[in-house]
């Protein structure tokens, strides 16, 4: 293991304005959120929202150059704002550590690169939103949208610029909240509200793993500060074994545990199997949100976290293997789902899940910089594709079903060109960016099995490589399908549909455009406006992103193609990464097989594109696809319904949870509270019984005494008549009796 | 802060003001509603303002009881009128004056009959609660502990919902029965003390000193004594399975009653654990701990699950309290500084977030006089400010970082994880469920289409914004900068841990640790690689630069 990091941060530079990068968008969110509803001044809202993100971007550029000017091993600028909290002593490995968390930021090679991406792409997408949200601009919801978007940029910048895991977690949860708020932006639509909740709760399940990993790290290092952990890793690794909670294991065992726990968190945030289900549903949010949060930035935070924690992962082989396996599986499975989707955003959503799988494959192969590079190229082309899709949706009057589009090439040339280039990039066609980044990942995975010509590496790598190649094939196919369905043929949105390609009417269709009952109204409404190119503030961001997707690949040319340029990106990151030896060995001679694989990948992607063109373009009736579906209806239904995973979760987890709740509630009402009420009832009964005893026996005795007195007194009362005659009579007789007794006896 | 003589007795004044105020209210004619409301409110605000200097007077460098005032009361049996506070009491004391003012303020429109009695009872209630936190004498403590029930009983029984009498009597008898058990416990320790030391002393400090003598008694005696206190406090918290009085009391109580109940009354139980249970029974606690912890963990998950399917908003929040206070107990039972710090924060946070949520329910109840979740939907559309406040409080309740709830939950879980990781793992699942039921509630009430009955509902008015604002500000303040409160709690908690879990600091030079932490301080960790290069790579690796 090469240990570049431990010597890297001997000294660091501090800055007093670093905090402005994340906080400017926060201020933007605050101002817009507090005043937007009252002022209703859209221009002002635009200025604040775009301005804050734009200045953040410029500041990131400034910091990039400041770092650039420093020695590679010295490239850290930090700022600590305040002590966030201080929990007192904590018993960790090796004694008591003071549990202090700082509210601090750190700009280094990785975080500034991410900050550039977040604020840069964020700015472009904010710009796009000014056009896309034109309806909301008029009905007073616009300020809310922009405030949420700014809040998101703030959280995301916290995530990437945070100086310790606590700050990262702050951003981690913050982006989750913003995602929730933005998915549910059209909250009066039930689906949007449900999708937002689903995203949040699924992410919470991931956070469970993140927190466990976090606590374990704290127990091992006594701190979660990135610098401290990086610096101490070597020492911890040098220990023969670690004992925590009375369990003694090798340090790699603990690192594996940490790695897997953290990866569960990454699975939630970055939509990997089994926690990916929220991302396709998240498309219920406005399209710029899908581009910014659910394609370019937030979903890559899991990747960022793993790259940041690479010092753990290089020492955690099992965890890496898990990541590789999950990544490869996700890359393949979700790509296949893309075959059978008609909603343009759903296709892109599954494509995103699949591409994230590719990135995780790179991480799992130990090629952190390759994985990170794909984060960047993917951000360019996927943001371009999503924004382009947004433009298309606007142009087609909020129609999302590709079957109802078609022929848009003629109407929207800029959008078509941009999306076309982005598609070529995602398919991995030379020399667009996707070729370089995806190829590097697949090669690294393959290299693990290839093992310098011995072909005896872990079989997992071979399987993952095969899955990856299949996934790449699917990607090229469904993306071409998307382009053909959307941009070629004739426009089907106004009812001209000679081949019967339009979506069948669904009564519960969100937008009602396909609803036959309203078809006439809609046609009347639509006829005057054929699809049109969108305004400049919408196509320009798409074009810029597409341009980046075209040339971005040259930032990181693989070593095998070094005659084209250098691998600047990898070199830039390298002081931060503890790449394992395999990753570094590639700087030697390039094996011929790498060139063959590159060629193969190109041909492979080309084949997929041609196949899709053959099926969907050459034949405007799509009859081959239809016959295929007709032959295998079961397979189609299965894929179209996303393998029924959602239904499975609903049935197996959510329903059983609800059932358990209901049972516990009954238990609570009848048993737990029943005992309380039972105790009360028993007391009452006892009271009644006692009262009976009291009334009948105790009081009865008392009354009996009284009664006896009464009876006695009744007898004596007889003598007390109160009549003088009686008394005189008695006295007289008494006197007689006395006299009789005295004198006569 | 200069020690003006009457400042020395400031806690006493703060405690007395609500009682004096209640007496004052007696002289206001009962028809003068506005005057009564404003009078009660100004008394409550005055009380809160008076309590603020305490925050600055408090000496954070010691764990000693401060503002001590002691007078003989019944010398023959050792009863003293003895008051004072340490950091733990102070924090809850301040919370009481804070929540008290809000409880009065939120009642202006909710209470429509018998205003005079209502405000008098609320103020008396506040007096008794403050009394619990400042007394340093068991007799006085018991007195306040039991008297507290009387105003609460009337608040629920007079101004409550349809089943108010049932709820009020249940609350009264249930908690009273616990209290009586505690009285038996107190007397047992009292006589044991006479037997061992020959003096009658009812001061709390002397009870703490009895820990050793109690430990010398038979196991059975210790267990019974411990259980007597445990049940008394567990009912008040309330812990599973002693919690069923809580949903009834909350559902039937008027909003102000719920706010006081959730905000402060429940903290009496946890405060009892901190103040009495833990320091008096350090010896027997480990034996009973598995049992206590099982109840705690069940409470966390059980409360959350039961909350999930409630149809009544207030009942949902009430069951969420069971879950949240379970977390609080988990932190206490971790018996380490992180966990107890977290528990203290959970008490404060629960006071803020859950009181806030009861106010949130109160708002829609006042407007529509129903509380069933199914009766609402889509309110975000017409009530944007309400939606924002509700969202913030929801997030605070489910522990979003940056808001108050997170600090407590995080510290508790971290403490529990250090003590025994499985507790923390199970408890974390309660947090997932917490997000599920709160967001589901929010979705059903605030999102979706709005119907005609709900459309005319008015957004928050100025007064309502007024009483939500301090809660929201507090939620953010604690979430972003909790260290001022932590500084107050640090020493007393350290002291408590030394009493209850002396092994924790065994072999540790506390002062050295503290100095080390201060040295490491903010940017400390950069130096760590250096420090480690100088170190031998022994067992001390991992000790944050130790």
Residue A197 corresponds to which tokens in the numbers above? 């909740």
Total Cβ atoms within 10 A of residue A331 = 30
Quick check: B542 pLDDT over 50? Answer: no
Where are the alpha helices (H) located in A488-554, listed in sequence order? Answer: 519-526, 536-551
**Pairing relationship of beta strands A95-108 and A76-92 according to DSSP bridges:** antiparallel
Q: In this complex, is the C-beta atom of A563 within 8 Å of any C-beta atom belonging to chain B?
A: no
Burial readout A102-131 (b: 16 or more C-beta within 10 A, e: otherwise) = bbbbbbbbbbbbbbbbbbbbbbbbbbbbbb
Residue of A nearest to B490 (CA): A88
The 10s digit of each residue's pLDDT in B212-264 is 888 888 999 999 999 999 999 999 988 988 988 999 999 999 999 999 999 99
A interface mutation test: which of B447, B454, B521, B533 has the most A CBs within 10 A?
B447
Q: Give SS3 for A487.
A: helix
How far is it, in rounded angstroms, from Cα B383 to Cα B387? 6
* Residues of B with Cβ-Cβ distance to A188 under 8 angstroms: 378, 380-381, 447-450
Which phi and psi (to 5°) does residue A244 adopt?
A: -125, 140
| C-alpha neighbours within 13 Å on the C-beta side of residue B143 | 15
From A223's Cα to the closest Cα of chain B, the distance in A is 6
Query: Cα torsion for A558, A559, A561, A564, to the nearest 10°?
Result: 80
How far is it, in rounded angstroms, from Cα B492 to Cα B340? 10
From B521's Cα to the closest Cα of chain A, the distance in A is 8
Quick check: B149 pLDDT over 70? Answer: yes
By the 8 A CB rule, do A488 and A617 touch?
Answer: yes
The per-residue pLDDT for B539 is 38
From B153's Cα to the closest Cα of chain A, the distance in A is 17
The per-residue pLDDT for A627 is 81
Do residue B443 and residue A90 have CB atoms under 8 angstroms apart?
no
Chain centre to alpha carbon of residue A60: 25
Give 10-residue mean pLDDT values along chain A (745 residues). Answer: 40 80 93 85 89 94 91 86 85 78 90 93 92 84 90 94 92 92 88 89 91 90 86 83 82 91 92 89 89 88 92 90 93 88 89 92 89 92 91 85 82 88 89 88 87 81 91 91 86 73 58 39 47 82 90 83 80 77 54 84 88 82 79 81 82 85 86 86 89 86 88 82 82 86 78
Taking CA atoms, B476 is separated from A430, B84, B482, in Å, by: 51, 30, 9
By the 8 A CB rule, do A550 and A425 touch?
Answer: yes
Give the nearest partner residue to A208 out of B310, B432, B443, using CB atoms: B432
The per-residue pLDDT for A522 is 41
Do residue B523 and residue A205 have CB atoms under 8 angstroms apart?
no
Put simply, the chain A residues between 494 and 523 with a CB less than 8 A from any chain B CB are none
Q: In this complex, is the C-beta atom of A94 within 8 Å of any C-beta atom belonging to chain B?
A: yes
With 0-12 / 13-18 / 19 or more C-beta atoms within 10 angstroms meaning exposed / middle / buried, residue B224 is middle
Bridge partners of residue A98, in order along the sequence = A89
Residue B487 corresponds to which tokens in the numbers above? 């500084």
Q: In this complex, is the C-beta atom of A670 within 8 Å of any C-beta atom belonging to chain B?
A: no
Put simply, the chain B residues between 107 and 126 with a CB less than 8 A from any chain A CB are none
The per-residue pLDDT for B304 is 92
Put simply, the chain A residues between 620 and 649 with a CB less than 8 A from any chain B CB are none
Quick check: B529 pLDDT over 50? Answer: no
Closest of A293, A282, A269, A270 to residue A150, by C-alpha: A293
Do residue B309 and residue A665 have CB atoms under 8 angstroms apart?
yes
From A368's Cα to the closest Cα of chain B, the distance in A is 24
Could you tell me which residues come within 8 angstroms of residue B49 by beta carbon, excluding any fewer than 6 positions away?
A: none
The per-residue pLDDT for A513 is 39
Do residue B513 and residue A657 have CB atoms under 8 angstroms apart?
no
How far is it, in rounded angstroms, from Cα A592 to Cα A588? 12
From B232's Cα to the closest Cα of chain A, the distance in A is 15
Do residue B336 and residue A90 have CB atoms under 8 angstroms apart?
yes
Query: pLDDT confidence of B121, banded at 50, 70, 90?
Result: very high
Closest of B230, B274, B259 to residue B393, by C-alpha: B259
Do residue A221 and residue B544 have CB atoms under 8 angstroms apart?
yes
The single residue listed with the structure tokens 């009481």 is: B96
Q: In this complex, is the C-beta atom of A73 within 8 Å of any C-beta atom belonging to chain B?
A: no
Kindly write down the DSSP assignment for every residue of B149-204, as one continuous string: HHHHHHHHHHH--TTHHHHHHHHHHHHHHHHHHHHHHHHHHHHHHHHHHS----BH
Could you tell me which residues come within 8 angstroms of residue A638 by beta carbon, excluding any fewer than 6 positions away?
A: A644
Q: Give SS3 for B398.
A: coil
Angle at A743 between CA A741 and CA A744, to 5 degrees: 70
Q: What H or E segment, with its residue span, contains residue B403?
A: none
A interface mutation test: which of B87, B543, B545, B546 has the most A CBs within 10 A?
B543
Query: pLDDT confidence of B527, banded at 50, 70, 90?
Result: very low
With 0-12 / 13-18 / 19 or more C-beta atoms within 10 angstroms meaning exposed / middle / buried, residue B525 is buried
Taking CA atoms, A363 is separated from A305, A366, A373, A572, B274, in Å, by: 11, 5, 11, 17, 47
Handedness of CA A535, A541, A544, A545 (dihedral sign): negative
The per-residue pLDDT for A409 is 83
Could you tell me which residues come within 8 angstroms of residue A462 by beta carbon, excluding any fewer than 6 positions away?
A: A446, A449
Residue A134 corresponds to which tokens in the numbers above? 């034109």
Burial readout B371-399 (b: 16 or more C-beta within 10 A, e: otherwise) = bebebbbbbbbebbebbbbbbbbbbbbbb
Q: What number is the average pLDDT over the span B472-492?
A: 92
How far is it, in rounded angstroms, from Cα A3 to Cα A230? 9
Kindly write down the DSSP assignment for every residue of B284-327, as one continuous string: THHHHHHHHHHHHHHHHHHHHHHHHT-SBHHHHHHHHHHHHHHH
| End-to-end CA separation in angstroms for chain B | 37
The 10s digit of each residue's pLDDT in B19-78 is 999 999 999 888 888 999 999 999 999 999 999 999 988 888 888 888 888 888 888 888
The single residue listed with the structure tokens 């071979």 is: A462
Q: In this complex, is the C-beta atom of A228 within 8 Å of any C-beta atom belonging to chain B?
A: yes
Q: In this complex, is the C-beta atom of A30 within 8 Å of any C-beta atom belonging to chain B?
A: no
Q: In this complex, is the C-beta atom of A10 within 8 Å of any C-beta atom belonging to chain B?
A: yes
The per-residue pLDDT for B48 is 94
Angle at B423 between CA B417 and CA B427, to 5 degrees: 100
From A224's Cα to the closest Cα of chain B, the distance in A is 10
The single residue listed with the structure tokens 């899940």 is: A353
B interface mutation test: which of A6, A98, A260 has the most B CBs within 10 A?
A98
Q: In this complex, is the C-beta atom of A447 within 8 Å of any C-beta atom belonging to chain B?
A: no
- Work out the mean pLDDT of chain B and round it to a whole number: 87
Do residue A169 and residue B401 have CB atoms under 8 angstroms apart?
yes
A interface mutation test: which of B378, B544, B546 has the most A CBs within 10 A?
B544
Chain centre to alpha carbon of residue A227: 26
Do residue B338 and residue A99 have CB atoms under 8 angstroms apart?
yes
The per-residue pLDDT for B387 is 92
Do residue A87 and residue B429 have CB atoms under 8 angstroms apart?
no
Q: Give SS3 for A100.
A: strand
From B533's Cα to the closest Cα of chain A, the distance in A is 9
In this prediction the pTM is 0.88
* Residues of B with Cβ-Cβ distance to A201 under 8 angstroms: 432, 435-436, 439
From B481's Cα to the closest Cα of chain A, the distance in A is 6
Q: In this complex, is the C-beta atom of A551 within 8 Å of any C-beta atom belonging to chain B?
A: no
* Residues of B with Cβ-Cβ distance to A89 under 8 angstroms: 336-338, 494, 504-505, 508, 510, 513
Give the nearest partner residue to A94 out of B449, B487, B542, using CB atoms: B542
DSSP A404: G
**Pairing relationship of beta strands A76-92 and A13-14 according to DSSP bridges:** parallel
The per-residue pLDDT for B273 is 93
Q: In this complex, is the C-beta atom of B537 within 8 Å of any C-beta atom belonging to chain A?
A: yes
Burial readout B423-434 (b: 16 or more C-beta within 10 A, e: otherwise) = bbbbbbbbbbbb
Q: In this complex, is the C-beta atom of B443 within 8 Å of any C-beta atom belonging to chain A?
A: yes
By the 8 A CB rule, do A415 and A391 touch?
Answer: yes
């Amino acid at each position: 293991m090469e240990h570049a990091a431990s010597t890297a941060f001997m000294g660091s530079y501090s800055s007093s304005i670093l905090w402005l990068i994340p906080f400017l968008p926060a201020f933007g969110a605050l101002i817009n959120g507090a005043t937007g509803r009252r002022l209703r001044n859209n221009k002002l809202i635009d200025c604040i929202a775009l301005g804050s993100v734009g200045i953040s971007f410029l500041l990131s550029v400034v910091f990039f150059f400041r770092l650039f000017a420093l020695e590679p091993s010295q490239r850290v600028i930090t700022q600590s704002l305040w002590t966030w909290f201080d929990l007192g002593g904590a018993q960790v490995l090796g004694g008591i550590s003071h549990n202090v968390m700082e509210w601090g930021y750190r700009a280094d090679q990785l975080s500034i690169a991410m900050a550039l991406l977040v604020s840069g792409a964020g700015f472009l997408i904010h710009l796009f939103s000014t056009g896309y949200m034109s309806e909301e601009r008029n009905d007073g919801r616009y300020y809310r949208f922009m405030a949420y978007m700014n809040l998101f940029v703030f959280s995301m910048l916290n995530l990437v610029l945070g100086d310790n895991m606590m700050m990262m977690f702050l951003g981690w949860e913050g982006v989750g909240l913003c995602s929730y708020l933005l998915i549910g932006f059209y909250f009066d639509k039930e689906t949007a509200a449900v999708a937002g909740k689903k995203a949040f709760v699924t992410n919470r399940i991931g956070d469970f793993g993140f927190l466990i990993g976090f606590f374990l790290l704290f127990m091992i290092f006594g701190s979660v500060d990135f610098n401290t952990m990086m610096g101490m890793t070597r020492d911890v690794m040098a220990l023969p074994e670690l004992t925590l909670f009375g369990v003694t294991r090798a340090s790699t065992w603990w690192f594996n545990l940490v790695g897997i726990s953290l990866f569960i968190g990454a699975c939630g945030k970055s939509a990997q199997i089994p926690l990916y289900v929220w991302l396709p549903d998240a498309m219920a949010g406005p399209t710029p949100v899908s581009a910014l949060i659910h394609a370019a930035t937030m979903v890559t935070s899991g990747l960022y976290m793993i790259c940041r924690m690479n010092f753990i992962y290089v020492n955690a082989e099992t965890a890496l293997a898990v990541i590789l396996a999950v990544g490869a599986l996700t890359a393949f499975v979700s790509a296949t789902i893309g075959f059978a989707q008609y909603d343009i955003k759903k296709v892109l959503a599954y494509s995103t899940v699949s591409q994230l799988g590719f990135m995780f494959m790179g991480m799992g192969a130990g090629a952190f910089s390759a994985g990170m590079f794909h984060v960047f190229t993917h951000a360019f082309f996927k943001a371009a594709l999503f924004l382009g899709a947004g433009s298309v949706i606007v142009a087609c009057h909020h129609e999302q079903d590709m079957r109802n589009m078609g022929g848009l090439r003629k109407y929207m040339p800029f959008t078509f060109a941009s999306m076309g280039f982005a598609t070529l990039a995602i398919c991995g066609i030379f020399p667009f960016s996707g070729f370089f980044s995806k190829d590097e990942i697949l090669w690294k995975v393959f290299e693990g099995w290839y093992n310098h010509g011995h072909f005896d590496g872990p079989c997992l790598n071979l399987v993952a490589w095969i899955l990856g190649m299949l996934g790449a094939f699917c990607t090229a196919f469904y993306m071409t399908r998307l382009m053909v369905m959307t941009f070629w043929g004739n426009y089907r949105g106004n009812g001209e549909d000679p081949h019967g390609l339009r979506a069948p009417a669904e009564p519960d269709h969100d937008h009602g455009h396909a609803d036959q009952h309203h078809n006439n109204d809609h046609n009347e409404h639509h006829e005057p406006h054929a699809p049109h190119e969108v305004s400049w503030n919408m196509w320009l961001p798409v074009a810029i992103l597409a341009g980046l997707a075209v040339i971005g690949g040259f930032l990181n040319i693989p070593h095998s193609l070094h005659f084209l340029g250098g691998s600047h990106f990898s070199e830039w990151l390298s002081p931060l990464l503890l790449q394992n030896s395999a990753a570094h060995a590639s700087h030697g001679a390039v094996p011929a097989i790498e060139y063959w694989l590159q060629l193969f990948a190109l041909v492979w992607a080309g084949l997929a594109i041609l196949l899709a063109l053959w099926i969907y373009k050459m034949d405007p009736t799509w009859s081959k696809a239809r016959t295929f579906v007709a032959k295998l209806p079961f397979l189609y239904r299965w894929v179209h319904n996303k393998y029924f995973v959602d239904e499975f979760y609903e049935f197996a987890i959510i329903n059983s949870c609800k059932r358990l709740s209901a049972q516990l509630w009954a238990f609570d009402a009848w048993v737990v509270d029943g005992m309380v009420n039972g105790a009360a009832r028993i007391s009452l009964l006892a009271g009644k019984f006692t009262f009976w005893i009291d009334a009948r026996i105790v009081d009865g005795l008392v009354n009996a005494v009284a009664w006896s007195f009464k009876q006695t007194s009744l007898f004596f009362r007889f003598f007390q008549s109160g009549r003088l005659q009686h008394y005189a009579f008695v006295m007289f007789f008494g006197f007689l009796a006395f006299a009789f007794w005295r004198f006569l006896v | 802060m200069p020690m003006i003589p009457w400042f020395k007795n400031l806690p006493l004044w703060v405690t007395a003001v609500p009682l004096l105020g209640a007496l004052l209210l007696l002289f206001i004619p009962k028809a003068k509603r506005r005057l009564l409301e404003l009078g009660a409110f100004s008394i409550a605000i005055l009380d809160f303002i008076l309590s603020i200097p305490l925050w600055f007077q408090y000496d954070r460098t010691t764990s000693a009881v401060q503002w001590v005032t002691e007078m003989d009361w019944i010398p023959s049996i050792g009863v003293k009128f003895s008051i004072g506070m340490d950091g733990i009491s102070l924090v809850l004391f301040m919370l009481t004056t804070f929540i008290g003012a809000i409880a009065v303020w939120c009642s202006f429109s909710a209470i429509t009959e018998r205003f005079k009695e209502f405000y008098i009872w609320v103020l008396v209630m506040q007096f008794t609660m403050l009394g619990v936190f400042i007394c340093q004498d068991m007799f006085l403590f018991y007195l306040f502990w039991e008297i507290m029930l009387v105003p609460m009983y009337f608040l629920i029984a007079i101004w409550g919902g349809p089943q108010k009498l049932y709820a009020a009597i249940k609350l009264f008898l249930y908690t009273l029965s616990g209290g009586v058990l505690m009285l038996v416990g107190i007397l047992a320790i009292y006589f044991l003390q006479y037997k061992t030391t020959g003096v009658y002393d009812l001061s709390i400090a002397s009870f703490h000193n009895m820990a050793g003598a109690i430990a010398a008694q038979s196991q059975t005696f210790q267990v019974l004594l411990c259980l007597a206190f445990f049940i008394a406090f567990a009912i008040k918290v309330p812990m599973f399975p002693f919690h069923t009085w809580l949903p009834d009391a909350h559902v039937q109580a008027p909003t102000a009653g719920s706010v006081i109940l959730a905000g402060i009354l429940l903290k009496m139980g946890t405060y009892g654990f901190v103040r009495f249970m833990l320091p008096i029974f350090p010896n027997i606690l480990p034996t009973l701990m598995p049992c206590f912890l099982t109840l705690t963990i069940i409470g966390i998950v059980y409360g959350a699950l039961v909350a999930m399917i409630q149809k009544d908003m207030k009942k949902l929040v009430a069951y969420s309290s069971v879950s949240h206070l379970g977390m609080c107990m988990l932190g206490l039972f971790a018996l380490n500084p992180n966990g107890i710090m977290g528990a203290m924060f959970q008490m404060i946070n629960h006071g803020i977030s859950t009181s806030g949520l009861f106010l949130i329910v109160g708002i829609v109840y006042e407007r529509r006089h129903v509380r069933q979740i199914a009766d609402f939907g889509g309110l975000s559309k017409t009530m944007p400010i309400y939606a924002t406040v509700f969202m913030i409080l929801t997030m605070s309740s489910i522990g979003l970082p940056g808001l108050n709830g997170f600090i407590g939950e995080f510290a508790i879980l971290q403490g529990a994880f250090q003590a025994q990781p499985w507790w923390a793992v199970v408890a974390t699942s309660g947090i997932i469920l917490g997000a599920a039921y709160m967001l589901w509630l929010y979705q059903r009430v605030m999102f979706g289409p709005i119907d005609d009955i709900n459309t005319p509902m008015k957004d928050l008015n100025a007064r309502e914004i007024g009483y939500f604002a301090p809660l929201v500000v507090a939620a953010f303040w604690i979430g972003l900068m909790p260290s001022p409160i932590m500084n107050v709690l640090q020493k007393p908690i350290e002291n408590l841990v030394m009493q209850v879990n002396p092994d924790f600091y065994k072999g540790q030079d506390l002062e050295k640790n503290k100095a080390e932490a201060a040295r490491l301080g903010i940017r400390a960790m950069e130096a760590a690689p250096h420090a480690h290069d100088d170190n031998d790579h022994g067992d001390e690796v991992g000790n944050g630069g130790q």
